[in-house]
């Protein structure tokens, strides 16, 4: 067997193994619905805040605030906040995510 053919078979096997893992990850997603209050907290966290540099400390950005709120919601509802995806056409409160501890480490 030539080296080129061997490399091709290794790449094909790798592609199929990863395809299986991606499908498995997609199948483990769960649909969640947050409360109106949870949505309000997320939207408030995304609002622009004045930038203050006091004593070498800075105010968190809206993105940092939103990430923290999603992480807290993940702990509360039992999902990995880094896996959240919206559900198109179902409303702002609905999303999918992979179930997990939602650790606050």
Mean pLDDT for back-to-back runs of 10 residues, the chain (105 residues)? 46 50 63 96 86 72 91 95 93 93 57
pLDDT reported for residue 24 = 46
**pLDDT reported for residue 47:** 87
Give me the residue spans of the domains in the chain: 30-98
Looking at residue 57, what is its pLDDT?
72
| Distance set, CA 42 to CA 11, 19, 62 (Å) | 42, 33, 10
Between the alpha carbon of residue 76 and those of residues 11, 29, 73, 90, the distances in Å are: 41, 17, 5, 22
Q: What pLDDT, on a 0 to 100 scale, did the predictor assign at position 29?
A: 93
pTM over 0.85: no
| DSSP code at position 47 | S
The C-alpha angle 11, 12, 17, rounded to 5 degrees, equals 100
pLDDT at 61: 84
């Amino acid at each position: 067997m030539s080296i080129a053919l061997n490399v091709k078979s290794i790449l094909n096997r790798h592609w199929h193994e990863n395809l299986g893992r991606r499908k498995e990850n997609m199948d483990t997603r769960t649909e969640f619905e947050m409360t109106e209050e949870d949505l309000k907290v997320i939207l408030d966290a995304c609002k622009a805040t004045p930038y203050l540099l006091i004593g070498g400390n800075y105010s968190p950005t809206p993105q940092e605030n939103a990430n923290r709120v999603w992480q807290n919601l993940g702990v509360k509802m039992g999902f990995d906040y880094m896996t959240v995806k919206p559900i198109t056409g179902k409303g702002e409160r609905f999303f999918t995510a992979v179930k997990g501890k939602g650790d606050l480490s």
